[in-house]
Structures are given as structure tokens and as C-alpha cells.
Amino acid sequence: MSNIVMTAAAGGNLRGEIQIPGDKSISHRAVMLGSLAEGITEIRGFLQGEDPVATLQAFRAMGVRIDGPEEGCLVVHGVGLHGLKQPPQPLYLGNSGTSMRLLSGLLAAQPFDTVLTGDDSLSGRPMRRITEPLSAMGARIGTSEAGTPPLSIEGGRRLEGIDYPMPVASAQVKSCLLLAGLYAEGRTCVVEPDPSRDHTERMLQGFGYVVERDNNTVCLQGGGTLKAAPVEVPGDISSAAFFMVGAAISEASDVLLQNVGVNPTRTGIITILRQMGADIALENEREAGAEPVADIRVRGSRLQGIAIPEHLVPLAIDEFPALFVAAACAEGETVLTGARELRVKESDRIQVMADGLTKLGIEALPTEDGIVIQGGQMTGGAVDSRGDHRIAMAFAMAGLRSSSPVLVHDCANVKTSFPDFIESAWRLGMTIKETAW
């Protein structure tokens, strides 16, 4: 694969309105539950990025008819919980950890064997966090010696519901176990140390499945059915985060990000930026399906460094690359702790962001579970995203406050979550280009 480089010109601001592409997390789950439901599910706002398309192709390979996507619209002809067929070959899931972890849960109870594979990045990500509790339910899943993909899932296993206290808040692990629980005998309960995104629980209820929630405990009974239901996918706040930060750090900026999901388990980015002094307003608040939605207006402001409260970490886990750029532009010191999870994302996001910020002239000290960033003047220069889409887009925003252009290497994976990122940035007034080296 050629090296895709994004070059962001130095300075400028963001002004205007854009529509944010569909939420990646919700797009995955809509295809999964629509496929397992009885009846036909229409999905609008589906993110046509590489990750959700990997989920879509996996279900097609297991015999589900899916029409589209066409302008974000899909029609899924559900086969019911027991209607999937053995795929003719291993399911390749590209860079998508969500696809692999959630599919593992629902495939652990199928009557056929499956193998899940991915690209080099996904093949290095930890999977024992799902294989161990699934094994406790009765699943049998093979991994590498390091507990990484490929995953070999043995069919014909009888699953039993479990009570599982999660060591770390993770929506992917929680969702994996809940999907396995649909097939398990008895009751499956997951207890989180802190709240994580709850799209799976909301969507299960939207498909007519009874889910019990009590504080940080989520339970369901196996053996029910899913009934097809329309799904409207809101804009992805994780994608909106880059332009929220870009507007917040650049003077005279004024952007309106339309139709963004503001599920309270995902709005840590808003809370943290507001604590730093950002001017953020939610307008036109409404409901889209089971999800709260709003237009987000952000104006340029002077940011202050803060100690980020640990309870907000799971509510902003995917937005920290962008938040680190905000911290680099803030006055004073920003300290993050309790975020060890960032080290096992598409890259080690703590180390890769610290390396990049240092190259841009910012003092950034990585710690075991976080980072300490001293705000200052970014000098511009070349940074390496290590193939991580969120890091690539975060460093593109750094150009708005750099004294010379910022070149971001290894950006091909931006297409996994935000295929139109460059075009959206142009529409808001950024001078940015993409080249292949």
C-alpha cells in the first residue's frame, strides 16, 4: 500500500456547516441485529466506511441478503437468530476491532465453525478480554499464543449465561457478551466499573428484546427473538470531534456540525472541552430512533489545561487523539490518567500521539496509563500516524495552530471511519490535501 500523506497548511480557522457521516458503532450494530432479526430492516445514515462495510460483507458471506448501500441506505433481509450459514472461507474484517469482537459473541453459539481474520493492525490487538468470558459461557475459541487474531471459533457449543464483572469498561466486550447471551441458556449479566457506550442495549430494545439495566449492570435472558425495526443512524460524534477541536483551537472559528449523536455515554468530548473553556452549544436537540441527536455549534476560544477526570475516560475513549491536540493548544498543563485502554487501540495512541506532538515542538510525556501535555506553540513538521485513522485526523487539525504546515504520514485508514474527511475539511475552510508517496 502506498503511503498516503495529508498536508495541512499552517493557520486559518473553520467556518460553516457540514453533515457528519453516520455513527460507526451504530452502523455495525444495525447490520448485525438487522441480520439476526425476523423481517426486513431498513437502515438510513449507514456509514459507508471500510469498517462497517467489513461487517456488512461478513453477514453477506453468512447468507444474509443486504441491498445497498446506496446513499447511506441499506435493506437487510433478516434470517433470525438461527438462520446464519457457514461462510465459505474465513471472514476478513480489515481493521475493524468492533466487527471482530462483536461477531465473536454471536458466532460462538452457531452450529458451524468460523475463522475471523484481519489486517496487520487488527492481528495485533488483544482478544483474551472476550475469549476468556466467552469460554466461561462454554465457547471454544482459538487464538495466537499472544491471545491475538486470527480467531478460530468452534461451532455446536452450548452456551450458559454468566454474571461477568468487567475489569475495564469496554462497550465492545459488553456487547460481545450480550450478543452471546442471546443464544445462552439462562441469564447473562455484565457489570461495568464505569459506564461505556450503550448503543447495543438501546438497539436490542429497539428490536423488541428485553434488556434490564440497573446502574452499571446490564442483563438479558437467552432464547428470545429480534423483530425487524427501522434504524436511523445519527452522525458520529467521534468524527465530529476533529472539527470540534479544530474550531475550538482556532480564533474566529464558528462551525455547525449537523445531526450528531449525543448519547450521554459518548459525550465525554463535549464535557472535557467545556471544562477546558471551549464554547460549545447543542442546538435542535431531538430523538432519532432510540438515540439523542443535536446540531453542535463550536466557536473559537482560549483553552486552559486541566486534569481530565478519570470517570470521563470511557465516555471519550475514541476522542483522545483529538483532545491531545486541544491540550497542545491550551494554556498550561493537561494531565490524563486512567486511560491504559488507549495503548491497545488501532495503535498505542498514548505513545504515537506523544511522539507526534514532540515532533511538532510540544512537550508531551507519556505515562503508563495516560499523558502529561504542556500547551505551547506547534512548529509544524512531519508526523507518523502509524496507520491509525483517528491519530491521522487529529494531527491534521494541528495545522490550524502550527507555524508551518503539518504533514501526516500513513493516512490510508482514514477511510475506515471518515471517507470524506478531506472534503469536509475543505468545506469548512481548511487548506488540506492528500497525496500518495
Q: Which three cell numbers stand for residue 26?
A: 451504530
pLDDT tens by residue, 371-385? 999 999 999 999 999
Query: Distance of CA 184 to CAs 82, 110, 137, Å?
Result: 13, 11, 8
Question: Which whole number is the average pLDDT over 222-250?
Answer: 97
pTM, full prediction? 0.93
Which residue, chain included where needed, has cell 434488556? 211
Confidence of residue 291 (pLDDT cuts 50, 70, 90): very high
Q: CA angle 147-152-154, nearest 5°? A: 125
d(CA 187, CA 178): 10
- CB atoms closer than 10 angstroms to residue 299: 19
Q: Nearest-CA neighbor of 413 among 386, 374, 395, 382?
A: 386
* Per-residue pLDDT tens digits for 69-92: 999 999 999 999 999 999 999 999
Range list of β-strands (E), 33-123: 38-44, 65-70, 73-79, 91-92, 114-117
Burial of residue 178 (CB within 10 Å: 0-12, 13-18, 19+) is: buried
Could you give the count of Cα atoms lying within 13 Å of 328 in the half-sphere of its Cβ? 34
Q: What is the number of helices (H) and of strands (E) in the chain?
A: 12, 23
Contact 422, 397 (CB under 8 A): no
Percent of the chain exceeding pLDDT 70 equals 100
Pairing of strands 231-232, 38-44: parallel
| pLDDT of res. 290 | 84
Tell me how far apart the alpha carbons of residues 384 and 399 are, in angstroms, rounded to a whole number. Answer: 14
Cα–Cα distance measured from residue 289 to residue 284, given in angstroms and rounded to the nearest whole number:
15
Confidence bin at 2 (pLDDT 50/70/90): confident
> Is residue 293 very low, low, confident or very high in pLDDT (cuts 50, 70, 90)?
very high
Buried b (16+ CB within 10 A) or exposed e, 41-58: bbbbbbbbbbbbbbbbbb
- Catalytic site residue from 318, 388, 410, 420: 318
Greatest alpha-carbon pair distance for the chain in Å reads 61
* Cβ–Cβ < 8 Å for 87, 54: no
Q: What is the pLDDT of residues 398-410, one digit of tens each?
A: 999 999 999 999 9
How many whole angstroms separate alpha carbon 337 and alpha carbon 274?
19
Confidence of residue 129 (pLDDT cuts 50, 70, 90): very high
The rounded distance, in Å, linking the Cα atoms of 223 and 80 is 12
- Ordered by where they begin, the domains of the chain are 4-22+234-436 (3.65.10.10), 24-232 (3.65.10.10)
Asked whether 153 and 107 are in contact (CB, 8 A), the reply is yes
Q: How many Å is the Cα radius of gyration of the chain?
A: 21
Clarify whether 318 is annotated catalytic: yes
Calculate mean pLDDT across residues 173-192.
98
Q: With the CA atoms of 53, 207, 215 and 193 taken in that order, what torsion angle do they form, in degrees rounded to the nearest 10? A: -30
Is the pLDDT at 289 greater than 80? The verdict is: no
